[in-house]
Amino acid sequence: MSTLVVVGYDHRDKSEEVRITPRAAKRIPDMKRISIFLIGLVSVALVAGSTGCATSKDKEAAQQKEDILQAAGFKVIPAATPEQQQLVKTLPNDRVSALRRKGQVYFVFPVRSRDAFYVGNNSQYLTYQQAAQVSKKDLVEQEIESINRSMSSPGWEAPWGEWDTQ
């Protein structure tokens, strides 16, 4: 059996040359292709997973906004006419917009997935703003509480020691 000499460093016997068989040398390109394929596969899986998380968070945030609008007294109005359907598509997504109709100001939130609007008046909009502020504050407090819980779990210790924040 002949051997192929490849110059390199062999950590096992500290020599500068590594001997491999021609059969093993033929498998090196195959292993490279497999490695590249696996790296690509893992990359695609990571991108798909992160996109799925972002999408579910977006859906949760949109649903939470709809819940707050409904609690504030906004009414769901289906887009029945072609003009209303066009308006659902042209209004900024994920934002409450002010519109004037017959001399009255209305606040409108489009829901493209259902081809509808949440419509409210000035007092309902003010209630919505207050509830949205409370909701944001609650989310921040929940995040801080979650971090504190995870940091107080057994085995977790800050690498810099304790700080006296009092």
The model's pLDDT over 40-75, given as tens digits with 9 standing for 90+, comes to 777 777 776 655 554 677 778 778 888 999 998 999
* Rg of the chain in Å (alpha carbons): 30
Q: How far apart are CA 166 and CA 163, in angstroms?
A: 9
Name the more confident of 15 and 125. Answer: 125
Q: Where exactly are the structural domains of the chain?
A: 1-60, 72-150
Residues 6+ apart with CB under 8 A from 11: none
Residue 44, pLDDT score: 73
Say what the pTM is: 0.50
Average pLDDT over residues 17-36: 68
User: What does the pLDDT look like over 75-111, one tens digit per residue?
Assistant: 999 999 999 899 889 998 888 888 888 888 999 999 9
